[in-house]
């Protein structure tokens, strides 16, 4: 069962997956969370772990339904190569989540969300096709297009900030573009795209289709992300890094607060986690908020080399603030509304939080870290993961904490090739392919062969919308699809 953060509106989890946002504009949160029986989970495969977690959280789906969802999404081919590996270094490991179909951790949830939606529709007696509406800072777009374009009758519309995604990400999204998969660049930033999508959710009424959200405001995105925290904890046990019951730290490069919120839910379900460490780039809204209690969204958004974290309004933070306000929906609603009106708001309670630690990495620190990790560990980490690594080292320097730490590695470095070259002190190349090959040669670390497919994609089919027009254009488009 889940409820809205902004009222007492309660629904079954399957209904929440179809709704995305609650009708009152709030986000859905679990009314109560089950506690895991860790003893029984030690030897479970990824699929078995997923099935167990889903059965606990998707209370109205049957075992058979969920088994089908897991088998059809996390099938054998999905694990070739494995999109969930844990690699070890000195007192820390990386949870590598970027070997899925679109080379970022978003694949873990977006490969399974379409199936969860399909089963949710059955439970709610809905047969209409879906229009999936998504704002992306780059990686959600590709992963959602990949996941949803498998169902031929559905439509998907993706909005991305034209100057906020890497060349590779743009090509990757355009690769999927067709009559059912529409990709639009918006002359604005990610927050603009996210705001437009949220307004559309509020105002668009359809008769013949269901509007679905593939963003992490959808609880169906968060649930599959809980699984890899649990699974990787047991992987650390199997590899003799920690013993059952020992707490670990988890370090997450954070944008919309979805991934780390999933880790937080795992903690609430009994996974032994000491600190949840939020890593930000120059857009350090979260670090500021957790440090001094001031949530200030009236600020400039900086373009960084970790574009998937170039976000000011972290949607999922609302879910956590709701907890901090002792699940008081009235107070939460007042807090969020006055935040939007005034551009900032204060929450004293957050300063007393000890479970979360936050810090930020500058561009210079991030680039230096990419080079350092290559030199010392002979691995390439992408700019987002490098932000996490910088923040992890700052945390260790400051606290001398010796707890074993798990750093979430969220994307393939080759998706952000210009940033990687800049970090490795290489000049800009004439095209992406050369750019990638030269880094492969220099580092001896190969890119995924499936990436070559993306490189041949042209950008001639690119459609750009002015920020001022995007809302009405998409509004009209959804109306046309709905009537079609």
Ligand X SMILES: *Cc1c(COP(=O)(O)O)cnc(C)c1O
Residues that bind ligand X in the complex, under the rule CB under 6 A = 104, 106, 139, 216, 253-259, 308-309, 384, 410-411
Q: How far, in Å, are 38, 78, 118, 150 from residue 65 at the CA level?
A: 24, 19, 10, 19
Q: CA-CA distance, 389 to 394, in Å (whole number)?
A: 9
Smallest gap from Cβ 118 to ligand X, in A, equals: 23
Of 98, 155, 106, 152, residue with least CA distance to 385: 98
Smallest gap from Cβ 80 to ligand X, in A, equals: 21
Q: Specify the residue, 194 or 329, whose C-beta has the smaller distance to ligand X.
A: 194
Cα dihedral sign, 44-48-50-53: negative
Q: CA-CA distance, 275 to 256, in Å (whole number)?
A: 19
Q: Specify the residue, 51 or 386, whose C-beta has the smaller distance to ligand X.
A: 386
Q: Helix, strand or coil for residue 2?
A: strand
Cα dihedral sign, 464-468-474-479: negative
Q: CA-CA distance, 148 to 181, in Å (whole number)?
A: 9
Active-site pick, 3, 10, 67, 106? 106
**What phi and psi values does residue 439 have, to the nearest 5 degrees?**
-70, -35
Q: Specify the residue, 6 or 415, whose C-beta has the smaller distance to ligand X.
A: 415
Q: Specify the residue, 190 or 471, whose C-beta has the smaller distance to ligand X.
A: 190
Both tokens of residue 72? 């059809």
Q: Specify the residue, 142 or 175, whose C-beta has the smaller distance to ligand X.
A: 142
- Give the number of other Cβ atoms within 10 Å of residue 288's Cβ: 16
Smallest gap from Cβ 258 to ligand X, in A, equals: 3
115 is catalytic: no
Smallest gap from Cβ 71 to ligand X, in A, equals: 26
Smallest gap from Cβ 469 to ligand X, in A, equals: 26
Q: CA-CA distance, 252 to 260, in Å (whole number)?
A: 6
Q: Helix, strand or coil for residue 358?
A: strand
Name, in order, each residue with C-beta under 8 angstroms of 472's C-beta and a sequence gap of 6 or more: none
Smallest gap from Cβ 306 to ligand X, in A, equals: 7
Q: CA-CA distance, 263 to 342, in Å (whole number)?
A: 31
End-to-end CA distance of the chain: 35
Both tokens of residue 198? 């949220």
Smallest gap from Cβ 166 to ligand X, in A, equals: 10
DSSP assignment of 407-465 = EEE-B-GGGGHHHHHHHTT-PPPSSHHHHHHHHHHHH--PPPTTHHHHHT--STT-EEE
Q: Specify the residue, 382 or 482, whose C-beta has the smaller distance to ligand X.
A: 382
Smallest gap from Cβ 207 to ligand X, in A, equals: 33
Q: CA-CA distance, 344 to 298, in Å (whole number)?
A: 7
Q: How far, in Å, are 53, 111, 221 from residue 99 at the CA level?
A: 22, 13, 18
Cα dihedral sign, 244-31-47-277: negative
- Residues with a catalytic annotation lie at 106
């Amino acid at each position: 069962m889940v409820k809205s953060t902004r009222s007492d509106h309660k629904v079954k989890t399957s209904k929440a997956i179809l709704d995305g946002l609650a009708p009152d504009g709030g986000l859905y949160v679990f009314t109560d969370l089950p506690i895991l029986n860790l003893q029984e989970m030690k030897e479970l495969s990824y699929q078995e772990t997923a099935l167990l977690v889903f059965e606990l959280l998707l209370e109205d789906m049957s075992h058979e339904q969920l088994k089908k969802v897991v088998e059809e999404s996390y099938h054998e081919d999905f694990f070739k190569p494995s999109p969930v590996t844990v690699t070890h270094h000195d007192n820390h490991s990386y949870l590598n989540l970027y070997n899925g179909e679109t080379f970022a951790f978003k694949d873990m949830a977006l490969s399974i969300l379409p199936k969860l939606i399909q089963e949710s529709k059955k439970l709610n007696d809905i047969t209409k096709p879906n229009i999936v509406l998504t704002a992306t800072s780059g990686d959600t777009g590709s992963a959602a297009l990949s996941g949803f374009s498998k169902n031929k009758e559905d439509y998907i519309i993706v909005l991305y900030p034209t100057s906020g995604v890497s060349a590779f990400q743009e090509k990757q999204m355009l690769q999927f573009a067709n009559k059912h998969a529409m990709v639009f660049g918006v002359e604005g930033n990610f927050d603009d795209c996210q705001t437009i999508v949220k307004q559309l959710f509020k105002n668009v009424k359809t008769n013949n289709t269901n509007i679905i959200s593939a963003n992490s405001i959808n609880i169906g995105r968060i649930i599959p992300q809980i699984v890899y925290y649990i699974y990787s904890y047991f992987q650390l046990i199997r590899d003799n890094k920690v013993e059952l019951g020992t707490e670990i730290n988890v370090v997450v490069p954070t944008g919309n607060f979805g991934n780390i919120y999933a880790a937080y839910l795992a903690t609430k379900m009994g996974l032994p986690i000491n600190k949840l460490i939020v890593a930000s780039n120059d857009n350090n809204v979260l670090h500021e908020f957790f440090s001094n209690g001031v949530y200030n969204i009236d600020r400039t958004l900086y373009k960084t080399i970790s574009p998937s974290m170039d976000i000011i309004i972290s949607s999922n933070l609302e879910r956590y603030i709701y907890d901090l306000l002792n699940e008081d929906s009235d107070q939460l609603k007042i807090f969020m509304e006055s935040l939007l009106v005034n551009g900032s708001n204060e929450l004293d309670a957050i300063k007393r939080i000890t479970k979360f630690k936050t810090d930020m990495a500058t561009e210079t620190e991030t680039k230096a870290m990419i080079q350092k990790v290559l030199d010392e560990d002979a691995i390439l980490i992408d700019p987002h993961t490098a932000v996490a690594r910088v923040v992890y080292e700052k945390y260790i320097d400051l606290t001398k904490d010796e707890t074993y730490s798990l750093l979430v590695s969220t994307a393939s470095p080759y998706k952000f090739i210009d940033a990687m070259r800049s970090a490795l002190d290489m000049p800009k190349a004439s095209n992406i392919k050369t750019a990638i090959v030269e880094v492969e040669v220099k580092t001896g670390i190969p890119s995924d062969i499936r990436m070559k497919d993306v490189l041949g994609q042209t950008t001639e089919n690119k459609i750009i919308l002015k920020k001022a027009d995007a809302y009405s254009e998409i509004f009209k488009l959804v109306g046309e699809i709905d009537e079609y």
